[in-house]
Each structure stands twice: as structure tokens, then as C-alpha cells.
Structure 1
Amino acid sequence: MLEIVDVTADNVHEKGFFCMRSKPKSEGYKRKLSWLLKRFEEGLKLKVIEEDGQPKGFIEYLPIEHAWRTVEGENYLFIHCLWIVGRSKGKGYGKLLLNECLDDARRSHKSGVAIMTSSQTWLADQQYFIKNGFELVDHAPPSFELLVHRFDDKPHPVFIHGWEDRAAAYSEGITVFASDQCPYIYDAIATILEVAEERNLQANVIHLESAQNAKQAVSAYGVFNVTFNGKLLTYHPVHKRELNKLLDQALQL
């Protein structure tokens, strides 16, 4: 049996939030849980699709005014994540979840739904959304796109440009900008600090406490960014070997 479950403050302790479901005692999981409980109060929706009681994917979205990405707009819903796991892909589960969000937006008299995509990261590819009525409206380096599904002719959302200038303000050593929106970020911070210590590099962690903090991030992916000497180094968690490689390349520039 297929079922779409609304995860709320009342049942999130039972249902979890899909990611790191097998590690509920980990610090990353606990931080994401705390983050979610605050975001539910801001209108965040989390829906998990289950097949015979087993979670196969999820969608997380909220009003764009509270989106943790460098985007701005009015009266739109914004999708943080849409993910279907492994062998469950290709069965139409993603479209079912996407339609839940679109229907929610229409019921709420929103002007549309927006999402950030990328062909070079873990994020969904734009072609999937274009096939489902979205259109490309903005780009962000190095590989992000902003897509919208419009219901009316009101102004669509845009990226908040100026990433390089914002990064340049952090000109000494490594600076990590991190939130608890993704449960994998906590371990990523530990890896970065370990590498910084091994290489005798100055490192600083700035914890993003609100969507407004995230909207002023140094890349379009507002919830996790790492700069080195004033330039973006990475916007996704990396292993020690990859991080060392990125630092070596940056030092050669």
C-alpha cells in the first residue's frame, strides 16, 4: 500500500524526517530535529511517501519568505528537498510528492512554487521540473538554477546575487557557514576543523540561526558553505581527501 504521510511536530519523533533515520541518537539528527520543530511554526511542510510502511522518499517545502536559500520572492512556496531513494526511483513517487506541494500552493492561493536545481550536485536536475510545468528564471554559480511553476503573472522569485562580494569579507583562512537544515552538516564541520588543525590553518564556524542569515550566504546553497581566504571553496560536505585536494588547488591560484 502506498501512503503519503504528513510529518508534523506531533509525529516527527515517531516518523523521523527520512535522512539519517537509522541514527536518531547522532548529533546531526538531533540538530535537524530541533531545526524542524522551529520551522513547523513557520509553515514548513514535510511529506514522506511510504510503500507498505517503508519510507521511499520525501519532500520538504515552506513559504519562500522563510526559505534557507539565497532567494527572495513573495507569495511562493519553496522546495528545499525532493528525494526518492534508490530502487524506488522511476515509479512516479516524486511526481506524487511534487503534486502534493503544487496542490497545497493552489489551496493556499500562492502565486506558484519555486525550487533550486543543479546538474552537478545532489540536487534534482532541472529537466525533471521543466517536464512538470516549471520554467527556468535565474542562474547562480557554479551550477545552480532557479525554477518556478507560476499560477499568475505576479513577479517571480530571483536569486540574491553578490556571492563573491560576500565571500571576500572572510579573507583569512577557512570560514564555515552552517545550519542544521541538513543532518549531514554536523559531521562535515568536524572534518573541516580536523583538516584545518592538521594543516595549521585558521578556521572559524558561523552558525546560521535564521532564514535571513541563509539568504545572505556566499553561494546559492544557503545552508552550508566553506570559504578559504575570501573565496568559495565548497558548498557541500566533502571527505578529508577531497577537502585537502580543494585546499591544495586554492593555494596554487
Structure 2
Amino acid sequence: MEYIQVTKENIEKEHICCAISNNKDIQVSSKKDWMKKCFNDGLVFLKSIERGKCFIEYIPAENAWVPIIAENYMYIDCFWVSGSFKGHGYSNDLLSKCIEDSKAKGKSGLCILSSAKKKPFLSDPKHLTYKGFKVADVSDAGISLMYLPFNESAVVPQFTDTAKHPHIDEKGYVLYYTNQCPFNGKYVPIIEQTAAENNIPFKAIRIETKEQAQETPSPCTSYALFYNGEFLTNEQQNDKRFLKLVQSR
């Protein structure tokens, strides 16, 4: 198995797995711009040398774009092995490389978002448990913070209070998002247009910095949709899915 680490030196010529297209595509350019912001903060993006969705992305937790307290941990932003790559050991191999790198950097463990039952855009809790991860904290939104400590003295990470109890004062639909997920570059404008055409109260808030992300009132920041102050979902919406969600309220 061969891998490539995407860095600021090679990012313009490498594809980013989750959005395989040219650099002029908004999904690619928005994701790569976000990555460029994070490289100096220790972001690692490791992918298979073959084209496809097979990669792991992680960053020191103090620089993660999520509202967690995880002293000396490494936070896994995204861990995705799909399609023809599944069942060939890539998942185990990528996680092992992340663990090896994190230990070499003196980290106390890894942490990642998941849930009690598998949800879209969150890592599979059964697989994480099988690999030794444990639940560190659970948000009222049903999203779990799982962790893999490297030693017994590692402090258990946790959500910030606003992430553990997500709530906002604004009415209507409010979306918090970052460009860490490339699909937002395409679909957030589609949702904005769909809402406007159907007179649906909707506001999109793009998180621009790690400091803003760490203060966001949601356990996840790549995509967090609220309705009348309450957290609804972290699942990416297209126009049809959004309208169906609105009709169900």
C-alpha cells in the first residue's frame, strides 16, 4: 500500500479524494483553501496513491475546528475509505499510520466525532470501538466524542459546554459550516437559493477561523443545521433533501 501526504508544496497538483476534480471546481478550491490555512497548524492529509476516496485527515486538537477540550490529543477531521478500497486493509493501515505519527509527535491519544448509531458524515462507532476507541463525551445532539488514549494518564477529552448543549436564539433555519467539507462549496449556495425561492427563513454562517469554530454552539462545525434554535442535523443537504426536511417540521 502506497500513500501520499498532501502538503502546501504539492497541494496544487494532488487531488483531495473527497472531491476529485480540477482546481477550478468550487468544491476543490474551497477545500484546498481551507487546507492551506491549516497546514501551519499541523494538518496532515494522507491518501492512497490511487485515485479514490481513501484517506485520513487529522490535526492537533488545540488547532481543530471543533469545540472540544482535548489536551495533547490529535483530532481526526475525516477518515474515509469507500468503494473499491473497502475490505483491503486500507482503513487499518491509515489508522495505524495516524497512531504512529501521533505517538512520534508526543500526543496522548486520538479523538474523533461519532455517534451511538452510525450517522452520515460521522465515523462508524462499531469500527472505532473495535479499534479500541471509547466514548469520552456525548452531546445532546446525539453526537459522541470518542477517544483512543495512548497511556493511562491521558486526560479524557470533552466537548465545550456550548457543544454539549447546542442551542441558538435565532428562529428559522440557521446553518453553521466550514470549508473543511468540500461539498459545502457546491451545496450551501443551492440551499440558500432553494430557501429563497420557497420563502423559507434561512441563514448560512460560514466559519472562517479555528477560533470561531471552537466557539460554535454545535459539536460539529463542518455542517450544523438548526431550526428555531434547536440542532437538527449534521447531514449535508441538497435541494430535495432540504425541502423534504422542511416539510417534515
TM-score, normalising length from structure 1?
0.89
Aligned length: 246
Greater CA deviation, 201-210 or 77-86? 201-210
Residue 114, structure 1, aligned to residue 105, structure 2:
no
Residue of structure 2 in register with 1:155 after alignment: 155
* SS of residue in 2 equivalent to 1:168: coil
Q: Does structure 2 conserve the Cα–Cα contact (< 8 Å) formed by 1:59 and 1:82?
A: yes
Of 51, 70, 84, 1:73 maps to 70
Q: Does structure 2 conserve the Cα–Cα contact (< 8 Å) formed by 1:49 and 1:58?
A: yes
Distance 1:55 1:3, change over 3 A: farther
Residue of structure 1 in register with 2:144 after alignment: 145
Residue of structure 1 in register with 2:246 after alignment: 247
Residue of structure 2 in register with 1:197 after alignment: 196
* SS of residue in 2 equivalent to 1:167: coil
Distance 1:247 1:170 in 2: 17
Offset, 1:166 = 5.1
Distance 1:164 1:174, change over 3 A: farther
Residue 91, structure 1, aligned to residue 92, structure 2:
no
* SS of residue in 2 equivalent to 1:13: coil
Q: Does structure 2 conserve the Cα–Cα contact (< 8 Å) formed by 1:138 and 1:147?
A: yes
Residue of structure 2 in register with 1:170 after alignment: 170
Offset, 1:75 = 0.4
Superposed, 1:21-100 pairs within 5 Å as: 21-50=20-49, 53-55=50-52, 57-100=54-97
Distance 1:164 1:73, change over 3 A: closer
Distance 1:165 1:102, change over 3 A: closer
TM-score, normalising length from structure 2?
0.91
Distance 1:166 1:134, change over 3 A: closer
Note the alpha carbon deviations across 1:11-42, whole angstroms, 9 max, x for none: 11111221211243211211111110110010
Distance 1:54 1:32, change over 3 A: closer
Residue of structure 2 in register with 1:15 after alignment: 14
Q: Does structure 2 conserve the Cα–Cα contact (< 8 Å) formed by 1:168 and 1:230?
A: yes
Distance 1:164 1:249 in 2: 25
Distance 2:185 2:163 in 1: 23
Which one-letter code corresponds to 2:28 in the other structure? Y
Percent of aligned positions with the same letter in both sequences?
28
Which ranges of 4 or more aligned residues in structure 1 deviate by more than 6 Å?
none
5+ unaligned residues in a row in structure 2: which ranges?
none
Distance 1:40 1:163 in 2: 25
Distance 2:62 2:39 in 1: 14
Note the alpha carbon deviations across 1:150-190, whole angstroms, 9 max, x for none: 1221312112243586533222x232212110110122211
Distance 1:41 1:235 in 2: 27
Distance 1:96 1:131, change over 3 A: same
Distance 1:56 1:29 in 2: 14
Of 89, 100, 105, 1:103 maps to 100
Q: Does structure 1 conserve the Cα–Cα contact (< 8 Å) formed by 2:141 and 2:166?
A: no
Offset, 1:127 = 1.7
Which one-letter code corresponds to 1:36 in the other structure? M
RMSD: 1.9
Which one-letter code corresponds to 1:101 in the other structure? C
Distance 1:201 1:130 in 2: 40
Residue of structure 1 in register with 2:183 after alignment: 184
Q: Does structure 2 conserve the Cα–Cα contact (< 8 Å) formed by 1:141 and 1:219?
A: no
Which one-letter code corresponds to 2:78 in the other structure? C
Residue of structure 1 in register with 2:222 after alignment: 223
